[in-house]
Structure 1
Amino acid sequence: MSGGPGARRILVVDDEPQILRALRVILREAGYDVVEAADVETALDRASIRPPDGAIIDLVLPDGTGVDLCRRLREWSQMPVIVLSAVDEEEMKVQALQAGADDYVTKPFGPRELVARLEAALRRTNGTPDEPLIEADGLTIDLAARVVRRDGEEVHLTPIEFDLLRHLARNRGRLLTHRALLVEVWGPGYADDTAVLRTHVANLRRKIERGGGPPRLVRTDPGVGYRFSG
């Protein structure tokens, strides 16, 4: 079934017919309309004729890459873009995120995870990036006052730690690369200093995460970056 009148339209780009069929079924069952393309140029043509609400694109395409497509879409659109990648394409994942992709899903993927990632990206696009309060798992971040509380108790963060948390939380659910975080929080001169980032993430987690178990708020995508998932 399709999403019907008013359903959001998702551009799906993959040159493997079986993947296209699977994505079509998954997205239509979730209530979306699907626009299909098997290469970069067809995708750009279909997106320009009637801009979709979001896109799911493979990293390897016959006439280019998902990185190329993402970069060209970003020249005129801020639609959410999720890239599909194989496990061994880590460098291309990073390039796609730096080109403006919002997230990636690794093949083979679970239907529920894919739809959840898409819905999170769509919510971010429709949300307000400057909301004064962000709440997650007992943590309250007052962006205007630069105050953080855990279960009502104020948490004392350094200015850098707060800026790092603010950028992660404003992009809630979105995977941010090491380089993107370093440039945003520390500046271009620190773009490759992942040791600095790891140290500050460790300090931030110690202050804001609940004790015991793996981190729930600031999660690691190994080799790529971090996301705020509260």
Structure 2
Amino acid sequence: MEQVGLAAATADVSLWSLFMQAGIVVKLVMLGLIAASVWTWAIVIDKYLAYGRARRQFDKFEQVFWSGQSLEELYRTLSERNNTGLASIFVAAMREWKKSFERGARSPIGLQMRIDRAMDVTLARETEYLSARLGSLATIGSAGPFIGLFGTVVGIMTSFQAIAGSKSTNLAVVAPGIAEALLATAIGLVAAIPAVIAYNKFSADAGKLSGRMEGFADEFSAILSRQIDEKLQPRQAAQ
């Protein structure tokens, strides 16, 4: 009889049994944390692929840009594409450059400011794209343990209610409630720990990619500044 009772008790504390025996509040907490964990891993996979693709695109563009190819030719090649990263900054600057000269730009300072502003707007948009959904990882990482703790508190309250109802402190009475409470805590940690690690890693990766874009924007601004001086100074001298 003792062996039968032990086997039943073991079956009662399986993960599925704990979930099915949990109250509605604890079930909602567990389901929410499981959904948050799935969302975390979806973001992790998406960002891992996106950042790897961005690094390859950056390397490819820099190789072409510094190969000595004509800026006009490179602009014509890229202007018809849907560009991202360094290519989008280059296209935005060259588009403003061409529009300004087509309209007869005369002030080198004004032209330089417009080009820099165009690159800054594009840089901000690309940085925002790189950082998209990282806030979700931060939220899950910070809130997950507390949501799991809420489930733990509810589970322990259930255990105390079971003790009060049965007027017994037998472990068989309180074990299910305590076990479901601990399960809620464990699921909270399973959701939060990968989210925190992923957030720290991808935030650093996004910072590095943004730094590369800022560096390119500064270098390209200096290149265009020299070309502005070469084109506008003869006009001003002739006037």
* TM-score higher than 0.5: no
Query: Which of the pair has more CA radius of gyration?
Result: 2
**TM-score, normalised via structure 1 length:** 0.23
**TM-score, normalised via structure 2 length:** 0.22
More strand by percentage? 1
More helix by percentage? 2
Kindly indicate whether structure 1 or structure 2 has the higher relative contact order, using CA contacts under 8 Å at least 6 residues apart. Answer: 2
